[in-house]
Structure formats: C-alpha cells, structure tokens
Structure 1
Amino acid sequence: MSQDLMVNLVASLLAFLVGWLARNLFTYYRNRRPVARLWRINRQAPVTAIVGSAGEREALWEADALAAMSIRQGLSRDLKIHSVATVRSVAFSLAAHAEDNIIVIGGPAMNEMWKVYADRLNAPYKFRRTSNGYGIEAQQGDDFFGEVRRPDGTSQDHALVILARNPFEPSNRLIMMAGCGFLATLAAPVLFSYSFARQLTRQFDTKQPVALVLSVEDVGGYMPKPVIVAHAQFAQV
C-alpha cells in the first residue's frame, strides 16, 4: 500500500512539474521572448537610461521620469534586468558610459544626448523645431507629426522611438524614445508591452535598426491604445 501511495505521489508531482514547465514555456515564448527580441539588450554590459534635464516646460521632466520608471519596471519584470542606472543628461558622462546599453528618454529640447546619438544614426525620422515646440518629420517626403490640441478639448501627440545598435559600441543596444509633448513621452514605453512586442517582432527584423512613430490621443482624460502611424527600417554603418 505504501509503495502504491509513493508511486501515485511521484506521478502526481511529475504531472505538476510537467504542467508548470509547459505553462511557463508557453508564457515565455508568447510574451517574454518577443519582448527580449525587441530589446536585444547585451546582458554583459550595463544598462543606462538618460533622461532630460533642461527645457522650456517643466512638465516634460515629469514625463521623462515616469517613462524611465516604466522602462525600469518592464526590464525587471520581463527580462529580469534589475540594475538600470538613470542619469540626467547634464550629469551623463560619455567617457564613462557612452558604450553601455543606452536608453535615451526625451528629445532634443530636453535631452542633449538625443542629438549626440541621433546624429550618428541617420534615422529616417527626426525632430524639427517649430513655432509651437517640436515635431517629427520624415527625412524623405512630406510626412510631419506633431502635437495637436483640438477645440473640443481632445488632443493628439506623437512619439519617435528608435531601436538601433549603439554607434559607440555596436554589440550593445541603443533605444531612443521621446514625444513631441508630455502625453506621447509618457506613452512611448508601451511599445515594449507584450502585445506590441509580438506585433513588432512579427513585422520587423529586429536585428536591423528601425524607427517608429507612435500616435496617442487624450479624449476627455481617456487614452485609447496608441497606434503606430509610420515606420521605417534603416541601414546603420
């Protein structure tokens, strides 16, 4: 009797372990693997996030900080990367950290490191200063995306997200994200959520650099799911 009981216990334990392993493998391949393929972080190198530290509107500093917090939480939860240094651009040392896995949060109005890295990429989209702030324009063609406030109180904003290799150390990753305004900067990290990661890894070869323009709306305090309105892969030397 005791031997039969032991056999049943072992069989139950094995069935539990097989089920647990199957569920975790399914979760990994469905959710975490696409996120990892999108990030492509070199785990042998540090991860440093650079946030803005100057600008005309203080509110954008808050957006940078909140976006950085979201990024840190996502990396910790999805990739088990728990050490992400966050540095303001005025305190960032190129001599010490230029070759890290770099995450630049905040565009040229707020983050001077945006220009340093963007100038070495020749990405198909860039920020351009306008009379009302900054907008995102295509390097070729007439496409232009900015921040729009409508008479009915709703608004639309756009963010530029660039996934590339670090131009100072190609084995490491460079991620750049910034909105024309507060709303899109805050929303940009959503691209690294499970659903967007699955979509993007199916649509693009994430080994190659890609630039994405994200549109987000504010409708009476409600923010619908952001939408990718423009994208282009590009060559990186």
Structure 2
Amino acid sequence: MGLEYRSFMANPRSKSSTQTVKKSNVATGRKPAFRSIYSKAEIDEIFRRFSLQRPEPKGELEHINPFTLVVAVALSAQATDVGVNKATRALFAAADTPQKMLDLGEERIRDFIKTIGLYRNKAKNVVALSAKLLQDFDGEVPQTREGLMTLPGVGRKTANVVLSMAFGQSTLAVDTHIFRIANRIGLAPGKTPDEVEQRLMQVIPDRYLYHAHHWLILHGRYCCKARKPECEHCVIADLCRSPEKTCDIPAPLVELPAKILGE
C-alpha cells in the first residue's frame, strides 16, 4: 500500500507492567479486558471499509412497524429471511397490530406461516406475544431489552435486532453469521453468542457500532460464507488473519498506523 508501518510485534508495555496488571486482576477477581488479535487501527480500518462498501446497510426482513418487526424476527429463528418474507407479506397485510393478530387467531396464523420451520410453536408465540403487548404494554412494543425479552419467543438476539432496526439503538445481535465471522477471522472469538456480543461491543469503534450488526451479517451472508468464504471478493482480505482464507493474499504482520485513518 506504500505506507510506512511500525512493527506489529512492538509492545509499548514492559514485562514488569504486564505482570503488575495480571497481579491486579488476580487481586480484584476481575477478568482481564478482552484483546483482539487485531490492533485498534486495523479494526477501525476493517469497519471503515465496510462503511464504504455499504454506507447505509438495511436489514432484509420485511416489516411495516415495530410490532411486525418483532414478529418477523421471532419467525426468522432457524429460517431464512427470504422464506420469512414470503410468509409474512400476506400475514402482515391481514394483521399489522397486536389486536388484529389476536383477532386472526392461532389457526389462521399457522396457515399463513406453515412454510416456515417450527410454524406451530411460532404461531403460538405470535398469539402469546400479541396478548402480552396488549396486557402489559398497551399494545406498544417496548423500547428496552428487558421489556422485549418478557415477550414469548423473544430472546436477546431478537430484542437487539428490534432495538436497532425499530428504535435506532446501537445494539449487536449475534446470529449465526456474526458468530461464525467473529470466530473465523479472530475478531472477537467466543464460545457463546453472548460472549461474542460482549467482545464485539468492546472492540468495535463507537462511530461504527450502529451499522456493525448489518455489515457483519451481510458480509457473512454474501462473502464470508459458511461452507467456503469468497476471499477473492472480500474487502478486508489483506487484513484478515483467518486460517481458512481461500486466496493467496497474506495476512499482515504489521499494524496499520493511525495516519491511514486520516487522524
């Protein structure tokens, strides 16, 4: 790239200072802060490129309002967005509020979504969450994670998606794509979605956090695919340290300097 790099191996902290930090963590019982294998400058550059590739990323689940978004995301578990959209177009045309969904009834909801996996249990949850919204929230979708997670069929991932897409909050819902990428490229590896979420929230720069969820999902869906990543089309291939890379662009042995970011 024609840039002068400083050594990636250079460590400004001395051995004695590292030992002091470790002793301090042991004494307080706190876990040391997570450190990605990528430097802050590299992570910033990764998300800068994602922002250039997709300046205004959008979720692919079709919805009309916050309520239909909650339903769509809940229905998307173990199903594709394309499949959910095909089923919900007619469903939402018939019922786009909790009361209309209750009036529709479980049996008719099943008829609309029977092409989606686990549709019987999901229909029950749609009825139950509609009733819960009317009973506890005056028919309005709550704007807190805690409130959303009281709804039947709504877990942390669904709540995070709704908070981001419906209410503009900077959350990060870890689905299968994000979980795979975070572990595959070593950005924020973890054994559970919650652990990956926590670590991604630590390392992603604040100015990129709002769109990070969609950037990572779309990157996983269309480029860093599960069976075989298409590294030859990847905008971060030269930064990626994944051992699964399918092209001959080597991973960097150096840290990108701050000046690449225009600082």
TM-score (norm 2): 0.25
The structure, 1 or 2, with the larger RCO (C-alpha pairs under 8 Å, 6+ apart) is 2
Whose helix fraction is larger, Structure 1's or Structure 2's? 2
